[in-house]
Amino acid sequence: MCNILTKVLSVLLVTTAFSGKAFSATDPRPNILVIMADDLGYADLGFTGAKDIFTPNLDALANNGVIMNNGYVTHPVCGPSRAGLITGRYQARFGMEINVTNSFYDEFSGLPLTEQTFATRLKKSGYETGIVGKWHLGGNQKYHPHNRGFDYFFGFLAGGHTYFPKNVTTTTPLWSEKNPKQTHYSANEGSIWPLQRNDNTAEFTEYLTTQLSRDAAKFVSDAEKPFMLYLAYNAPHLPLEAPAATIKKYSHIKNKTRQIYAAMVDEMDRGIGMVVDSLKASGKFDNTLIFFLSDNGAAAPLSGMDYKKKKKGKLFSDSGKFRDGKGSMREGGSHVPFIMHWPAGIKKSGEFDGLVSSLDIAATAVALGKGDTSGHKLEGKNLIPYVNGDKQGSPHSALFWRREAKQWAVRTLDAKYLMNAKDQGIELYDMQNDPYEKNNILKNNPAKRKELAKLWNEWNDGNSNNILLDAGNYQKVRLNFYRDLHKELVEKSKKVKKVVID
C-alpha cells in the first residue's frame, strides 16, 4: 500500500512540475520587463551621446531594439511619473501630481484605490507579477505592492534609499521646520530603513543597485509562467553613493560629483546586464519585451540650461541639448531615454520618431498579454503595430503635462506650448525646426497658440485637482499636528482638578 501511494505521489509531483513548465513553453505571450532609471540625464548613456560614461548593456539593447526619439514620461517628477506609468493613465485624472511621503500610518496617502495597475491587469490573465526596487506610491498597507497586483516585492516603499548597508537603521531621521534639508532622507521617510521582501524585512548585504539587479535576475530565471517584472531602480537618484572601485574607473572625469554619478549609472548598466544574462541563460530573452526609460530628466543638469541659477560644483547629470531638467516643463524635464527590445516580436531595429509616452507601456503590455481591460480606459497605445510598420504615423497626435496647474505643457508633432514658471511667461516652440526650444515664437503665432490651448483645455476637462500633499509640506503638517496635539493636552491637563486622597 505504501509503495502504491509513493508511486502516485511521484506521478503527481512530476505532472505538477511538468504542467508549470508546459505553461511557459506553450503560452506565446511575451514576458514583460519594464526597467526604470531614476533622475537620469538624457545624455548620460552611450546611445544618447555620452562619451565619459560607459553603458555597453543598455547600448546593446538600444542598438538591437527600437530607440524612441520622442519618448516622454507624463510628469517631470518621480512619484507622479511612476503613477502615470503604472496605471497607464495621466496621473492628473486621479489627483496625484506630487511626491507622496512614505507614511505607514496614513491610509489616505498613496496611489488612489480607484486605479488599477498594469500588474493587476496582467495578473488577472495569468501572468506572474513582480516589482524589484523603488515603489514611491504609498507606505500604508493599502498601497503595498502586494495589494496593487504584484505577487512579489523586493525593495523599498519610500522615494529614495541609501545605497550602502552600513547606513541602514530602523530609526527615523529628525525633521525640523527650521532646517527641512537636515538630511536627504528626511522627506523620504524610510530611506534608511531595511529593505523588504514581500511583507517582511530583507537582507541588505551589498551595493543596493547590485542587490536589486541580482534579485531581478533570479525572478526572471525562476518564473515558470509568462511574467511581468517592474525593475524600478533608484539609481542614479541622490544620495550620490557608489563603490570606490567604480568611482576610480571614472577618474578621467574632473567634476567630483559627476564622477560618483557616472559610477552609479555604470553600476545600473552592469546590473541590467546581469538581468539580460539571466534571461538568456533561461531561454527567455527572445520572447521578453524589454522597456527601458527614466522617470524624469536630470536632477542637476550640466547643460541645456541657464547657469545663472545653479552653482557649477553641484551640477552632475547631463540633459544634452535639451533645456532644464527634473521639474521643468521644457524638454529636459520629461523627454527621456526610451528603448523597446523584443527579438521575437519587433521586426526591425532602428529609431522611431512618433510621439511616445510612458502611458504606452501599460497599453502595450496589456494588449500583448491579453490583460484585463475593465475599469478606467488606458490612455496609451499599443506600440508594436507602429514600430513594426503595420500602423503609420505617430501613436499620439498630442501629449500633455500638468503640475498642479502651476506648470503646464502640450506638445504636438510640430509645436509645443507651455508655461514653466509664472515669472518666465508663456512659451511656444516650433518642434520641427527648433526641438531644443531656443526661440520662443509666441508673439508671431496667435493661431498656433489658440490651437494648442484648445487641445490642452479639452484634455484638462477630464482631470481632478490634486488631492495629496507633497513630501515636504506633508512633514510640516505632521510636525504641526504633533505640536498642536501636545499643546492641547497640556492645556487640558491644567483644567483637570488634581486628585486628592485621604
Active-site positions read 78, 136
**CB-count exposure of residue 343 (10 Å: 0-12, 13-18, 19+):** middle
Gap between the Cα atoms of 199 and 238, Å rounded: 26
Cis preceding-peptide flag for 30 (omega within 30 of 0): no
Question: Strand 398-403 to strand 407-412: parallel, antiparallel, or no bridges (unpaired)?
Answer: antiparallel
Cα-based torsion angle of the residue sequence 388, 391, 392, 394 in order, rounded to the nearest 10 degrees:
-90
Beta strands, E only, 160-199: 195-197
| Contact residues for 298 (Cβ-Cβ < 8 A; gap 6+) | 39, 40, 41, 42, 44, 317, 318, 319, 325, 326, 332
**Would you state the cell numbers that stand for residue 354, as one nine-digit string?**
512618433
> What separation in angstroms does the CA of 451 have from each of 209, 428, 441?
45, 12, 14
| Contact residues for 364 (Cβ-Cβ < 8 A; gap 6+) | 289, 380, 381, 382, 383, 384
Gap between the Cα atoms of 230 and 134, Å rounded: 10
Annotate 365-401 with DSSP letters as a single string. Answer: HHHHTT----SSPP-S---HHHHTTSS-S-S-SEEEE
- What are the φ and ψ backbone dihedral angles of 227, each rounded to 5 degrees? -120, 160
**Would you state the cell numbers that stand for residue 441, as one nine-digit string?**
515664437
Query: In this structure, which amino acid lies at residue 385?
Result: P
